[in-house]
Structure formats: C-alpha cells, structure tokens
Structure 1
C-alpha cells in the first residue's frame, strides 16, 4: 500500500521553461484550465478524500497539477504528513504552490494566507547513488494540525525539456485495488489541433472528451479494479503496473531522430587530444577490431567513474567526450558517447542505443517516447555480429564481450530515425563463476570438515573485486573474501584468504581455506550428504493451469553461467560409498543447459557440474513441451551415501591417539591466533573438543572464554565439563556462580542436579519449588522434583506428579516417555510399566529416547533379550546415545556376552557422569 506521505508529495518530474526558471517556489492560484475536485464531506471510510492529477500539454511544455486531501485519522498519520515535500527541476520549470490548508469543523485554515512557506533544499537526494539530478526539494512543516483534520495541498510543476525541444511526454501510474479514495482521477488535456497520442493500461476505462472548442482530454477514474493475478515467471510486460501515457512523438523513429543529434561524434576527438592519444595506444596494442573494441570498452569502464549528471538539461543530454575524459566521471550517456567516439575513430561501426534496464520486454507495448528508457549503451557491429557494450558495468574481456544484456529491445539513435530492434539471447562464452573446492572429511564425517576453495569470477563482480585490491586494507580484503566465501558455501570459518586480479582476462580470483560444519545427515545410522552445485534445485514447472495464463510466455533467468569442480576426500577403513541421484547429466531444458559428471574412486568423490541460463523467454507451446521434458528428467539432486561401517565419533570415543584430528586442531589454532580476543573461534573449538571427548582441552577453552566473558551460560558450561571430569566441587561452584548471575531455570536445574550427589536432595527440591516459569518450564521442573523425591524414597509422590500432568495432556509422547523412564529407573510399579513404555515408543514413532526407556523397563523385568533389541535399534539411529550404549553393555554382560564390558567402558568414556546416575538407579556396572 502506498504511504500517505508519498501520496501527498507525489510530484510529476519532467522539464520546464528557460534554464533555472524556478529556483524558488511560486505562490499563485491554480490555472483556469484546472477542474477543481469537490471535497467529499465524509468522516469515515478511506482517509484519502481527493487524489487528483491533471496534466496539460501545450506548446512544448507539460503542466502537472496535483491536488491531495487526506483526513488525519490517527497520530501516526499526523506524524507522517506533518512535513510536506515537493520536488522539481528548476532548470526545466517551476514549482507553483496553489493551496495548503487545514479543514476543521467546516472551517478552512489557509496556511499560505497565514504566512507559511516552503523552504527550499538544494541537497542532491541521490548523491549516495552517484547521481546529480539537479532536483530541488521544497518542504513545509504543517503548524497546528490535529487528529480529525483534513489536510489539503494543491500545487503544479511545469516542465520543458531542452533536449526534447518541442516534444512533450508524460506517464502516470493508475492506482488500483486495494487502494481506496473517495475521489481519485488522472486527466490529460492538450490543444485539439495538436498531434498527441495517448495510451492506457489494461483495466482502465478512459473517457475521451472535449474540454471546450480548443482542447481535447482523456480521463481515468481511480481506483482501477484489482489487476489480474500473473505468474511470477511471466515476462515483465505482463506484470507491469497500469499506466496512462501521452506524448507528441509520432513513432519510435521520431524518438530516435530527436535524440540522435546529441550523440554525434564528428570532431568529438580532437587531433592531439588526450582521448586521441588513448585511441592511438589501442591501435598499436591490438590488431583486430573486436580486440580494439574490448580495449576501448575496458578503458571507459575502468578509467571513468560513474556519476549521473542531470544538471543543465543533462537528464537526456550527454557531456562531451573531452569533458568526460578530463573529469574522469560520467553517467551512461557520457560513457556511451565517449566509447562511441573512440570506436568510430578506430574504424568500428557503432551507434548509441536507448534501452530500458528494468522493463525492456514491455517497451514495444508502450507509447513511443524517450521516457520509457532509462539507460544508454553502444551497439558495435563487427564482421556482421552485434556487440552490446555497456560502459557503466565492469569486467569487459574477450570472453564476456559476446554477452547480450537482458534489455530485450533497443532503440538505435540515428539522424534518419530507427525502429525498435530486439536483443536476442545467445550462448555465453565465459563463466560468471568458475569454482574449485576440496572438502577434506578424512578426520570423520561427523566432525567439522576442512575446505580449500578457489573461485574465478568474471564481469561486474570481477570489476568490484579489482576496485578493492590496492584500496582496502588487508583486514578489509579478508572481510570481503570471507563474505564472498560465505555467500558461496554458507556458514564457514575462514582462516586463510587471498584476492587477486588477472588484467589479461579481466577476472578476479578468490582463494580461501577454512572450516565448516559437516554437511552429513544421519538417519537410522546411515549417513547422507548433498552438495551445493550450480544445477542443484533446478526445476522448470511454469504454472499455466489457469485459462487466463495459458498463452503467457515464460521468462528465463539470465544470462548467467557457473561451473563447480568439487572434490570430497572421505575417511578410510569402511565399505564402499555410493552415489545417489544423477551422476551424469547432459541436458538442455527450456534453453537452460545442465551438465554434470560425478565419479567415485574408492574414498575420493569428484564432481564437475555446470549450468548456463541464457535469459529471454520461451513461447507457451514450447514451455509446455519443456515442462514435460523436465518432469521426465526429474530431480538434479545428488547425494553421497556412506556405508553403515563408516567410523563415527562414538566409535573412536575411547581412543587416546587424536592424530586424525590434528589438521582440524591446527585450523582452529590459526583462527584463534588471528584474533585472540574473538571468543567465537575459541567457542567453536570448545564445541569440537566436547564433541570428540577432549574434556581437558574443552576445559582450557571454557576457562579462556570465562576470562573474557564471565557469563552465566559459560559458568554452566564449565560446570558440565567439571562434572564429566568427576570434579564435583568445582562443578557445584560454577553452577552456583551461574545462579548468582542469572537465577533462571537452567542454573537452578544444574544446581539441583549436582546437590543430589552431595546428599542434599531435599535442598534441591526446595530450590526447584521456588522457581517460576511458563507451563513447559513448570513441567520440566516438576519432572526433576519427582526424580529427587524418588531418590529420597518418595516414589509414589514423583509418579503422581507425572500422572497429574498426563491428565492435562493425555497421550503426550514426552510425558509418556517420562513416566516409562521413571518407573523403569526406580523399578517402581512394574506391573503396568511395559504397557506405558510401549505406548511411549509408539506415540514417539520409535524414537531412540523412547526405545532406550523401554529397554530399561525390559531389563527390570528380566527380559534382557527384548531390551537388547530396543537398545540396538536406538543406537542404530543415534550411536552417540551414551546411556543406551551403557545399558547395551549391561544387558550383553547379563546375557553372557563379554563384549558388553567394551560397551560399558566406551559409554563411560563418552559420558563419565552417567556412572553416578546409574549407581543411584541400582544398575551394577562392574
């Protein structure tokens, strides 16, 4: 929805009378030709009471009249509309203020009569975008406005464009539903004998009539009906907002003729001038015309900074090539004219062309006028091939010069006029991004992976990176490289970077080494990972199911091309890996090229994957055929599947030789040394060390973190580590320190859990009972209290707590599992225990936690064979579940399988603290 402030300040900007005609606003009555809108007398409904735009074309001038009346319904609107703004181009016309008034209780308060005036700001509004448009802005703070008032503002902007001479053009958006107003219209008028064309967008009902004997008019009442829904992949012309356009141009050829004189190059490069010297350098360094054209384009791209200069009629008029070279800045017009002059001096056939960078495919359906274009480039023709050269971009090279920009249509500027010409897409020769990445996962699939990558980029991105080299500090370049790699690979920790530029190919190269989280996902003990490849996620499923959409073409993204070469180094010592999905692709679907070749050689996976998107569009008939082809083709997804025997962290839990982790440790050390005060790197190593059971190393890291950031969270983490190391006094001390800093549920729960091992379970219960929290937190507290009550011999009280919660949430899987676990570990009320446990397993979809609980119940009932089945299933799904591993050892031992001792030993290495808990439950581990 448009803001009310925009509606109030909606000024039409075009051009006006003599240069710098109106540097100060004028205060005059509305012109006689304006048909003033009657203010509706309403106090409810849409706050926009009047939105009236009237424009008159007469004698080479456009006069735009704006009338707004808005009811101030709330304090937010009063703030938004408390300062009015109106803009105009003083070298092209005037800002004429007719009325600023407040209507209150049937009375009009004339603010202009009371002495209020607009203040003129000369600040360039878009200077941060390198644009000097010459616009002035006038502002006025509205005094005394109240909620319930109606603010009414009327003003005009005149415009005569120096470049267009006597030609006039205008266009207005036609607002549609959901916009609402009591009265809204757009009206254009012009002398009856003038040659004026007009055109209205889809859905507009236009009234064409005579204002009097000498003026004709068209009028559209707003809002329009809601625009028909369009598919997101429809070409832009189907999704453009409705416009009313009017202009004096007869056709595109006339637009071309009017603009062409400003792009003449005769005498533009004076003999012996600096630009002439540059032309001679190019001639001497390059032989072929295309090589010379690329050299000239690179010179304009690299040596001339972009600055849009709209001053002194410059919205359409380019500055002279000599000025552009002297100033070393220019906009698209100036850059194109300089390039055009150089190309012609080099004997290359070339001409300037107008393009619409955002709405190019909609241009043929618009009224012929210069205003539909927003960009100028150069068309060079060499050996019968058209090259579209844009001096405002960067990265020109022999590899990229063939690229056709996605502008769809261009208007050549010729003295004898020209019609629109299409820009047909063609295959790219260069890759926008060419990457090589090695993923080193030899330390394990469930630990962080090392990576080394190299990305070669062409075109505009290469130009941006080149500009940073030599200008930014080393730290800034590292930050840029890290951001680039993160965009390519996701969340990464980069410890070595480099950005270089190759002037011969005009490409930039980013190199990086780092660490990233393992991409492997585990389900029922089997590992699988995908890869972020150029072809990944490709689909072609245009929706043309609605009858109204059946004949709408499909827009194709591009031009864009990318290739990725990925090598994954995998752990030894297991059965064969396998590729799941398409290992080879060589397809073209809807003009999009897809290629892939993936090979697996023992423990090394190699993938080369590329895609090319040409841009343009395809017809509805072709789209239907290509959609069927895409459906038959299926998914481009590629996964690598690990064998069931691949070593996991848990398999290596009791190893003392950590040499396999040495490269990862070295990477973390490099990250930490690069910025010793950055705790993120230390925190990441802490997580890695805990995950690989290096608790002493983790203790070193958490000590370093607490030294820098002594937070409750960090004290709790150290408390956990101390508990695993059987340093119970230190663990309790840290938990109490955390509680002192933040007496929340986490800190209270940790204190209570530790106190139970100091024969202070009653004190633990008291702590927990004092703690507040939401419903979920209260349930967690109640379960912990019940566990402590059972330890104190009050098992019925603890079970009653769970049963009470189940009456409020019957069948809740977590509570059912909690009840099963409670009865099993405390060996209490075993007669109905198994029924509860089976319900918990089924309601939790056979989760590892529920299976582990039921296994404990089976063990209590002496059904160790059944317990073993549940434990095997739980560990297959989650081999890191140390409690299940411990119980599997106990069960195996009781079944006479002495390998159970290894399970117990391994489980206690993974989580030493569980030994204390299981002794409380009466489970014998020796």
Structure 2
C-alpha cells in the first residue's frame, strides 16, 4: 500500500525546533487548549477532505502543534493511499502524541486506538539524496478494515523546543487557498498575552480574527482562503511569496541577530598545533595579500569539506565547531561558514556570518523578524573597504570570481549587539562565467549539414559542475553529457567530446565536435544563417496587461556573464554572401543587460566576438514599454549571413557530393563504433550516405539497423533508398512492412504509391479501398487514389472521388491542385484543364506545386511557352522541386535547347525515380 505522510515537522527545514522527549509515541487526549471542530457540520459539507484543523500554542519556549484531519474514502485509489498513516517527529526536539485514529462508518465511530491498533517506529532519512540527515522518526499505523465510503479521522500533537533560540519561539504556517475544497478548515495560533509573541501575515494572506481571553491572544483564519491573485512569472519574489501566518517572540531583526550570534562566535576555536591550524599557516605563507588569502580559505572550505546537512541532536540551528567539521570532513552551510569565519579571523580578515534566503531573498523584507525567514548562512568579508560574499557550500570559487555578488537580495548580520537587514549591493563581474569559442564549417554548401568545433570555458559554479564530468572515463557517458549541454545551443549531434577541469585555476572546459543538421534556411534563391551568439536573439516581453499587474516590476536574474567567439567558414569562399543587420554593437544596456559585439567578414570567413552580462535587479513597470522598444530595436539589427544564388547540391557531380559528405560520414562512424547495437546511429549514417548518393552503402547500413530494431522508420528509409536505386519491387516490400508495423495512413499511402511505381497500381487502389477514413483523411485518400488511378480502368472513379471531396471542401487548394494534376498526368478532360488549373493556382496563391501542375497541363496542350513560364516561376519558389526541373528539361530538349539536359540531370540527382514516374504518365525526354 502507498502510505500517506502526515508528519507534523514544520514546513521549513530551518524551523524544526529541539525539545527533549523520547523516541516512543505518546497516546493521550488532545491538549486542553485545543478548541474542538464541529465534525458533524464538516461531514455535512460532503467534501473529500472533510476536516483540516491545525492549532498551535506558543508558550514557555515550546511550540505545540495540533493537527486534526479527516478524509472521505471515495474510491479505491484513496483507500490505497490511506492504508498506512505516517506521523513524523524529531525526537531530540520534542515528542509526538497521537490522540485519535478513528473510522467513521454510517455515522458510527470505530475507535482504532481503543481497539489496540499497533504501530511501528522507524528512522528513515528521506532527504539523503539532498545530502540531509535530520534524525526524524516516523510512526507507522496500518489501518485495518478501511472501506470505500468510510471517513478516516486522525489527530496528533508535536512539540518543539529550539535550544538555539534561548527560549524564543517562532512558527510559520502556510494558508491553503481556493480552489482547494474543505468541509471545514481552520488555522489557529495562541500564546500568553504577556509572552512578547506577535504575529504578521505574509503574501496574499487575509487579516485574521484576533481575540483575547483568559490571558491568551488567539489568531484564527478559516480555510481555504480566497483564490490567490496570479502573479507574472518574471515578477520579483516579494510579489509571489506564498500566503502564511507568522508568529514569534522576536520584535526586531536585531533580536534575531543577537540570539543567533553566539552560535557563530569563533574566537579560540582553532586548536594550536592542530592540522586545521597548519592549514591556516599554509594559507598565510602562500601570500601576503588579504584577498588572495580569503580566496584560498574559501577554496579550502569548498573543496576539502563535503556538504552534509546534519539536523540531528539540535543541529538545525547549531553549527558544528570548526575543529569538528575539519575532523569529520563534512558539514552544512552553518558548519562551513563557521569554519570559514574561524580561518579568516585567524588570518586577521574582517568577516561575519550572514543569514540569507537562497531562494526568495527579495521576499525577506516582507517577513516578520524570525530566523525562519532564512534557509542559508554565508560569510561577508570586508577587505580594503570592499565587501565579498563567500559561500562555503558553493563550488569553484577562485580569486578571479570572488567579487561576484550572489542573488540573495537581503542578509542579516549575526552580531551580539543586534543588526538590521542589509541589501546586497550588486556589482558587475570581472570575469565571464562562460566563454564559448566555436568554429562553424559551413563550406560544404547550403544544402548539406555543417560541422562545428566547440570549446566552452567555464568558471565558478559552472566549472565545478564540469569537474565530475571531467573524471568520467566512459566515452559514451562523456558524449551523453556533451549532447545534453549542446542541445540548447545546436540542432544536431555531438560525435566527439572531452571534459577537463583545472583545480588550481578553477576553470573547466568542454571541447566537442558536432554536426549541425540544418545550417541554412532556404527561401527561393536566398540562403540565410542566423547568427546565434551571446548578444543575439534576446527576448523581453513582460506581460503587464492586467490591471493588477501594471505596477509590478520585472525581475532581472543573474549574475551571469557570457562571452562568445564565433567563426563561420562560408561555402565557395563567401561568394554571393553578405551580412544583414548590424555587425558591431557598442556597449549598450538593455533590459538590465550589458551587450557588446564586434563582427568582421573577410575572405569568406565571418568572425563575431561579443558578450552579454546581467546582474540581479529590477526594471520598473513604468519603464517596461520603453525597454521592450529598445530590445526590439536591438533585435532588428541582429546579424544574419545571407547568400544569394548559392550553388545547390543538385548542381554538384556525384564525385563532388561524395567528397563533401565524406567529412560527415566520419562523425557518424564514431557513433556507430561506440554504439554498435544502436540502430538509430546506423540510420543516421545511412541518411548521410544517401545525401552523398552512395545508395548501396546506405542500404547496407539501413539493413543493419533493421536487423537490430526493425522500426517502421527504418523500413521507410529502406524503401526510399531502394526507390532511388530503381528497385521498385523491393521498395514495395519495405513500405508494406512499415504499414504493417504502424497501420498509419501515411504509411498506407506510401505503400500504395510504391505499388503504383512498381506497375501494380490496381493493388495500390485495392489497398486504399480497404482503408476506412473520414473527414480530412478521406480527402487525402481521394488525392492518392486519383494520383495512381490513371493507368487503370478506375480513372473515372478517381476523378469522382476528387469531385466528391471538393463538394465537402469547396475551394480546397490541395484538392483543386489534385484535379489539375490528374488532368495533366492522365490526359483526362484535357480541354477543361487550363481553366481548372487556373482556379487551382489562384486558390493556392501561386504555390510552386500548383504552378507545376498547370505547367504539365499546358505541356499536354502544346502551350510550351506558358508551361515554361509556370515552371520557371515554380523553381524560383522551390528550386528543389524535381518534377518542375524534369519537365522543364523535357520541354527544353524538345525545343532543341541543350540546357534541357542539365535540367534532367539535376532532376535525377534530386529524385532518381523521377524518370520512371513520368514514364507512367507517358512523358519522356526526346532521344
């Protein structure tokens, strides 16, 4: 059974508070201060969550937390989830008392505690994957006899005393909003009126009801609260902090700082003559420069002390001593910070511990003063008047990167005299977090894949992430990491990669080689390559259209600096190439980001060097429209490589194509060698060989892939290769298998086409007859039927199917084009063909396909000039349209023009089966 976790541990890990009890469950009545809920009224509401009642009492340094929950068991899934109840607590900080476990069936109560229900107490560290040990215990109760239709009700109380707070108390409880539905929900906190405890609301929390009675103040809210106002994702954290009720005995942030400060006192905590003292001496001897010493100390703490949050034995707020942390070789943020503080103080460097919120630092300013506002501890060192924020739990920090200010928003200095929140003042980094150097070899041409050579240099945390990858020895693992990294940068695949990490400099490198699947976008006779670098293709489009959002600023994240150096080697030494947009970009600030770019174009090589850098900040709502305009203006000038009338792949001889593709086969070989049992890489190599017109070699690879996996995609690829080789009968078998594997309409039509090309059009029509389709699919089948019916005695039927489809979709350009093509290919109703084709061309907005169909009809009618005009227009739109090129070659040869032979040769390079297809239509070049 799946267990339901209903532990009463405070929702923020840092809130757990120590008390002294035992590791046994206490069974007792609910505390006398608990106000019972009206359970019968809650049941009447008929909700799945019948009851959720949470009440807290803050008194005498102890936070007591009572929870009463009831679920209606409405189906077998809920029954399975409720089969085992789990109650969690921290035995070194308090105890667990279970008050009730009951089944309510048909209005009658079955008291499982009175019936002697058993339980098991286990210690289970559920946070080990996050390197957290908290010593929590869990009491498991298996619920006997629970049925669908029952209500399961259970209640418990946990106590928490935090010895680190010197008798002070704190509690923060989130508020459940609609649309969650509850039969009855309540959150209630109370404390002695003279205890100094006060409360505050967080986020979009409503004002509670407050009452004073019998010397206690009570704050209460009914749950769920109203639905929260949605906030934009790019808003600062203070606008998105979840609603909560906070209470505690701290009046000011100074109180919090003063209570916590003693735990971070480090004077005389390093024993003379110890190995830790020797480490301090080593750092002191290494350099007289205080900043260099601070960097070395930080490196020691980051590199030599593993991270492990030990929350056992009151450890949530109490750090280990420096000597203990050094001896153990591990510690959490508190332990690492105390160790770093001790080392820095020994080195006579001014430094103090600082509480921060690592996830929602901007929201801390909205919190009531409580230690629970924070989840992390760092060290602030002051050297020559400059503040340095040192995080012992981070990684890869070195002298070059130590100036970087983390995105923590606000921090609280821990001083015995007290302190107020301080805002972290950002500054621009002195070094790039990532420098990417990449050479793109686009010289093979605009139709063929390109290769790239990449070197990514990283510092700081980014470099530290590469350290683990640098230790990998399995080339498959290395390639996998590199592929994942480059997926956000390139469309294609990595075939060679290596990682390295230099611990002295803290610099990591990824060096990789890969293939870009598509280097150029093609439109008519223009090829374009968008330049993607650090300064290009940025977006800034915050949505502030809602009235409630119009005063919400935009959050700039960071800090992050990227530098890119890109080199592009162009086809044909840059012939016909120009650069559109703005190559150079003087240093410019847009949307909180600094941009700078320089570009040169010489001897067929484009070189771009640029950088983008941003640090945490905000853009006022009033400035967002102007910032959007500035970003659009900058983006409109993004550079782009444009090549006019480039040489296309069909203009290349077989030898030239083979030579150009050869450099692409080698990368595929590497992947096939690494993964010999992976069919996808064989299919990749087969596709590359097909590009190089090595059809026999491509067939060998696709057959190997089929032997391994036999996917429909592999059989479809095999059919394409066989068709190019003129082996139409074998292509039929491959398409048949693909169709049998998928049953898809697309595979069925490919099978029918293959049958027709093999001279078995009747079988293709029979196949289409067997397909039961409707709607748009029926229209598709009609077009395919007509396409292959002309050589059979069912041509009239094909025409009728097109007409019927058009009656359901009047003016459909694809169907009109199919009619035009039917007239041209099969000489059907030719006298009406020109008028019909005019309609098709206009409906299709003069598409290349429609123009090609009309050209065929004009050719049948002997109107060759008009046919050539249409074919020329079609090839301007779609230069790779083999049918247009082939028919133009036939017409030119018929007119005695030698250019016709070039057209036919290039058409055959594009589609080797084009001649066989046109022979079916009764059209062949003049001999």
- TM-score (ref. length: structure 2): 0.94
Q: Which residue of 1 aligns with 2:421?
A: 420
| C-alpha contact (below 8 Å) 1:849/1:874 kept by paired residues | yes
Matched ranges for 1:389-428 at <5 A: 389-428=390-429
Q: Which residue of 1 aligns with 2:101?
A: 100
Higher mean C-alpha deviation, range 859-868 or range 331-340: 859-868
Q: Which residue of 2 aligns with 1:616?
A: 617
Query: Distance between the aligned counterparts of 1:617 and 1:594, measured in 2?
Result: 17
Matched ranges for 1:751-900 at <5 A: 752-756=752-756, 760-772=760-772, 778-900=778-900
Higher mean C-alpha deviation, range 781-790 or range 202-211: 781-790
Q: Which residue of 1 aligns with 2:363?
A: 362
Q: Which residue of 2 aligns with 1:433?
A: 434
| C-alpha contact (below 8 Å) 1:890/1:900 kept by paired residues | yes
Structure 1 residues not aligned, in runs of 5+: none
Higher mean C-alpha deviation, range 188-197 or range 225-234: 225-234
> How far did 1:732 drift?
4.5
| C-alpha contact (below 8 Å) 2:193/2:217 kept by paired residues | yes
Higher mean C-alpha deviation, range 367-376 or range 666-675: 666-675
Cα separation, partners in 2 of 1:756 and 1:47, compared to 1, 3 Å: closer
Query: Distance between the aligned counterparts of 1:743 and 1:554, measured in 2?
Result: 51
Q: Which residue of 2 aligns with 1:914?
A: 914
Q: Partner of 1:415: helix, strand, or coil?
A: coil
| C-alpha contact (below 8 Å) 2:537/2:635 kept by paired residues | no
Q: Which residue of 1 aligns with 2:219?
A: 218
Q: Which residue of 2 aligns with 1:640?
A: 641
Query: Distance between the aligned counterparts of 1:500 and 1:642, measured in 2?
Result: 38
> How far did 1:713 drift?
4.4
Cα separation, partners in 2 of 1:802 and 1:653, compared to 1, 3 Å: farther
Q: Partner of 1:642: helix, strand, or coil?
A: strand
Q: Which residue of 2 aligns with 1:138?
A: 139
Q: Which residue of 1 aligns with 2:154?
A: 153
Q: Which residue of 2 aligns with 1:600?
A: 601
Cα separation, partners in 2 of 1:613 and 1:4, compared to 1, 3 Å: farther
Q: What does the per-residue CA deviation read over 1:56-81, in whole Å, with 9 as the maximum and x for residues that have no partner?
A: 01111011111112323333333333
Q: Which residue of 2 aligns with 1:204?
A: 206
Count of residues paired in the alignment = 919
Higher mean C-alpha deviation, range 859-868 or range 766-775: 766-775
* 1:12 maps to 2:13: no
Q: Which residue of 1 aligns with 2:56?
A: 55
Query: Distance between the aligned counterparts of 2:559 and 2:351, measured in 1?
Result: 23
Cα separation, partners in 2 of 1:916 and 1:633, compared to 1, 3 Å: closer
Query: Distance between the aligned counterparts of 2:707 and 2:906, measured in 1?
Result: 33
> How far did 1:301 drift?
0.5
| C-alpha contact (below 8 Å) 2:574/2:605 kept by paired residues | no
> How far did 1:479 drift?
3.0
Higher mean C-alpha deviation, range 730-739 or range 146-155: 730-739
Query: Distance between the aligned counterparts of 1:352 and 1:438, measured in 2?
Result: 46
Query: Distance between the aligned counterparts of 2:435 and 2:490, measured in 1?
Result: 17
Q: Which residue of 2 aligns with 1:380?
A: 381
> How far did 1:27 drift?
1.0
Q: What does the per-residue CA deviation read over 1:816-849, in whole Å, with 9 as the maximum and x for residues that have no partner?
A: 2111111111111123222332222233333222
Cα separation, partners in 2 of 1:834 and 1:119, compared to 1, 3 Å: farther
Query: Distance between the aligned counterparts of 1:239 and 1:758, measured in 2?
Result: 65
| C-alpha contact (below 8 Å) 1:859/1:867 kept by paired residues | yes
* 1:579 maps to 2:579: yes
Matched ranges for 1:286-325 at <5 A: 286-325=287-326
> How far did 1:719 drift?
3.5
Cα separation, partners in 2 of 1:883 and 1:736, compared to 1, 3 Å: same
Q: What does the per-residue CA deviation read over 1:21-54, in whole Å, with 9 as the maximum and x for residues that have no partner?
A: 1312211110111101101154555322322111
Cα separation, partners in 2 of 1:195 and 1:820, compared to 1, 3 Å: same
Q: Partner of 1:831: helix, strand, or coil?
A: helix
Query: Distance between the aligned counterparts of 1:187 and 1:746, measured in 2?
Result: 63
Q: What does the per-residue CA deviation read over 1:118-150, in whole Å, with 9 as the maximum and x for residues that have no partner?
A: 422201110111001122222323222223322
> How far did 1:739 drift?
6.6
Higher mean C-alpha deviation, range 402-411 or range 722-731: 722-731
Cα separation, partners in 2 of 1:832 and 1:37, compared to 1, 3 Å: same
Q: Partner of 1:54: helix, strand, or coil?
A: strand
Q: Which residue of 1 aligns with 2:29?
A: 29
| C-alpha contact (below 8 Å) 2:18/2:90 kept by paired residues | no
| C-alpha contact (below 8 Å) 1:260/1:415 kept by paired residues | yes
Cα separation, partners in 2 of 1:717 and 1:216, compared to 1, 3 Å: closer
Cα separation, partners in 2 of 1:266 and 1:707, compared to 1, 3 Å: same
Query: Distance between the aligned counterparts of 1:376 and 1:695, measured in 2?
Result: 64
Q: Which residue of 1 aligns with 2:234?
A: 233
Q: Which residue of 2 aligns with 1:663?
A: 663
How well do the aligned residues superpose, as a CA RMSD in angstroms?
A: 2.6
Q: Partner of 2:572: helix, strand, or coil?
A: coil
| C-alpha contact (below 8 Å) 2:3/2:86 kept by paired residues | no
Q: What does the per-residue CA deviation read over 1:772-827, in whole Å, with 9 as the maximum and x for residues that have no partner?
A: 55655554444444444421244322211211222222222222211111111111
Query: Distance between the aligned counterparts of 2:739 and 2:366, measured in 1?
Result: 70
Query: Distance between the aligned counterparts of 2:45 and 2:219, measured in 1?
Result: 30
Query: Distance between the aligned counterparts of 1:512 and 1:625, measured in 2?
Result: 40
Matched ranges for 1:551-562 at <5 A: 551-562=551-562
Q: Which residue of 2 aligns with 1:179?
A: 180
> How far did 1:750 drift?
5.2
Query: Distance between the aligned counterparts of 2:164 and 2:674, measured in 1?
Result: 58
Q: What does the per-residue CA deviation read over 1:344-392, in whole Å, with 9 as the maximum and x for residues that have no partner?
A: 1111111111101112111122111111110001110100111000010
> How far did 1:523 drift?
1.9
Cα separation, partners in 2 of 1:657 and 1:403, compared to 1, 3 Å: closer
Q: What does the per-residue CA deviation read over 1:531-577, in whole Å, with 9 as the maximum and x for residues that have no partner?
A: 33223332444444555444433321111110111111111166431
| C-alpha contact (below 8 Å) 1:535/1:636 kept by paired residues | no
Structure 2 residues not aligned, in runs of 5+: none
Cα separation, partners in 2 of 1:735 and 1:557, compared to 1, 3 Å: closer
Higher mean C-alpha deviation, range 416-425 or range 339-348: 416-425
Query: Distance between the aligned counterparts of 1:434 and 1:656, measured in 2?
Result: 36
Higher mean C-alpha deviation, range 124-133 or range 203-212: 203-212
Q: Which residue of 2 aligns with 1:68?
A: 69
Cα separation, partners in 2 of 1:299 and 1:524, compared to 1, 3 Å: same
> How far did 1:152 drift?
1.6
